[in-house]
Amino acid sequence: MVHEPIDVGFADDLLGKLSSLFAQYGDAFRVFSPITQSHIYVLSHPDHARHVLVTHHDNYTKGIGIERVGILLGNGIMVSEGELWRRQRKMIQPAFHRSVISGMLQHIAAANLQLSDKWVGYANRKQEINVTQEMSEITLRVVLRAIFGPDIDKMSTPTGANPFSLLTEETERNLAFAYKFRLLTKLVMECVDRRRTQNEKHSDLLGVMMAARDRKSGEPMADRQLLDEVMTLIVAGHETTASALNWMWYLLSQNPEIEKRLHQEVDNLQSLPITLEDTMRFAYTRQVIEETLRLYPPGWLLTRRSIEADNIGGYSIAPKTEIFISPYLLHRHPQFWDQPERFDPDRFEPDRIEQRNRFVYLPFALGPRACIGEHFAMAEMVLHTALLARRVHLHYVPKGSVELEGQVNLRSKHHIYMQLEIRRP
Ligand code: HEM
């Protein structure tokens, strides 16, 4: 195995470095991080992903990546481990049941229809849009509505502004941001208290989590834990979808043939999708999103730490060893993907998926710690794409380069701008 020194600070173009080391050394290499004074194994074969995330998952905790977001998320399910994580996951899972998601679709559709009216207005005025910013705003709106239901309208600052807007206005995810973000737990607690005193029952994510009871003890979540879970869902549900949709619009603008096929599908829309099954019928739209998530997986780096010694595909792993599994690298693995750099949604036709090793595609991770919001996110992204692509066509406006930024999420380094053309007034 090859040894290379590496700085694991995200500021140091970790994505670029890992990509070039992968190109040089392939499936397995080891780097040394002078900052943490530890070795990190970077494993990029689907068998490695299956081993660490699925078959031997109980020998791994989350690694250094998660320590970065701990200050932001507290001890919510993204961060917690062991018995606490297991209990919380069971209690939160019902909030992502198909019926709960279906109940949210009309709100998601309404928010996107409103956005499409706004975009048509921009198009009429020949005003370009900042897609990166627009995606950040719409996905924040959707996730907040999903969590707080109609109560989100009651949660405003003294000046009437949305108190959560710092998530779209501030791009840094540093300590100063974490401090301001955590102050918002006060507002969330007020919302929880109001619901309790007025004995209100809601079917939004907060409502389902407040009603959840631990199977063994019959107890609800402690307030502090509930707050950590709410803050986790806000962050996990916002930036990921925002970044995926930002890349999707960019990719569509660069691939007119694919956009044309997408238009054929979304132009057939007879009525608004109101169940999860309805959103499944947008087969090509889904493929476009899946292919976007292949090329630009928002959660581009999964970090894990071994508990006991292990052997992964012939490599001996000592206890407490850091492991990186990068969906970004696996999704571009030349052994498993033909012309990996090409944007080709046909890769996600059902028979082609079946022929492929299923552990080589993991935008939502795999195994017990896979994304809890996958179906919600897919439904949200399909609805957004269908409703917006019907109304407008987006032309890329070059303003500087399009570059990747592998922070906690895979973002575009610079904002992406588009000119709008009306398809349906
Ligand atoms: C395009 C959209 C999304 C992508 C690509 C994505 C990706 C991921 C990935 C890769 C993980 C695993 C992280 C790790 O193992 O370190 C994860 C976990 C998680 N995601 Fe998502 N996610 C998306 C949307 C959402 C949404 C909409 C929500 C909620 C509203 C959500 C909530 C969570 C939570 C709570 C976890 C932690 C689960 C656990 O550890 O039990 N995600 N997501």
pLDDT in tens, 188-232: 999 999 999 999 889 999 999 999 999 999 999 999 999 999 999
Does 245 map to a domain? no
* Torsion angle (degrees, nearest 10) of CA 384, 381, 250, 168: 80
**CB 381, CB 105: distance < 8 Å:** no
Q: For ligand 1, pick from 60, 93, 290, 371 the residue to mutate: most ligand atoms within 8 Å of CB.
A: 371
Q: For ligand 1, pick from 240, 246, 359, 375 the residue to mutate: most ligand atoms within 8 Å of CB.
A: 240
Neighbouring C-alpha atoms within 13 Å toward the C-beta of 221: 28
Q: Among 181, 188, 232, 212, which Cα is nearest to 77's?
A: 232
- Sequence length of the chain is 425
Order across the sheet with 3-5: list the strands.
Answer: 3-5, 28-33, 38-43, 322-325, 302-306, 60-62
What is the spatial distance between Cα 383 and Cα 164, in angstroms, rounded to a whole number? 23
Beta bridge partners of 325: 302
Q: The tokens of 137 are what? A: 């705003």
Does 236 map to a domain? no
With a 6 A CB cut-off, is 142 part of the ligand 1 pocket?
Answer: no
Least confident of 193-202, 265-274, 321-330: 265-274
With a 6 A CB cut-off, is 377 part of the ligand 1 pocket?
Answer: yes
- Does residue 370 surpass a pLDDT of 70? yes
Does 368 map to a domain? no
The structural domain count of the chain equals 1
Q: Which residue has the least CA distance to atom 27 on ligand 1?
A: 237
Does 60 map to a domain? yes
Does 33 map to a domain? yes
- As a whole number of Å, the end-to-end CA separation of the chain is 59
What is the spatial distance between Cα 194 and Cα 71, in angstroms, rounded to a whole number? 27
Does 383 map to a domain? no
Domain of residue 325, residue span: 1-73+300-362
Distances (CA, A) of 133 to 118, 129, 243, 273: 14, 8, 10, 26
SS3 call for 6 = coil
Give the distance (Å) from ligand 1 centre to CA of residue 424.
34
Does 312 map to a domain? yes
pLDDT in tens, 274-321: 788 888 889 999 999 999 999 999 999 999 999 999 999 899 999 999
Does 3 map to a domain? yes
Give the distance (Å) from ligand 1 centre to CA of residue 348.
21
Q: What is the pLDDT of residue 38?
A: 83
Higher pLDDT, 171 or 221: 221
The CATH number of residue 16's host domain is 3.30.43.20
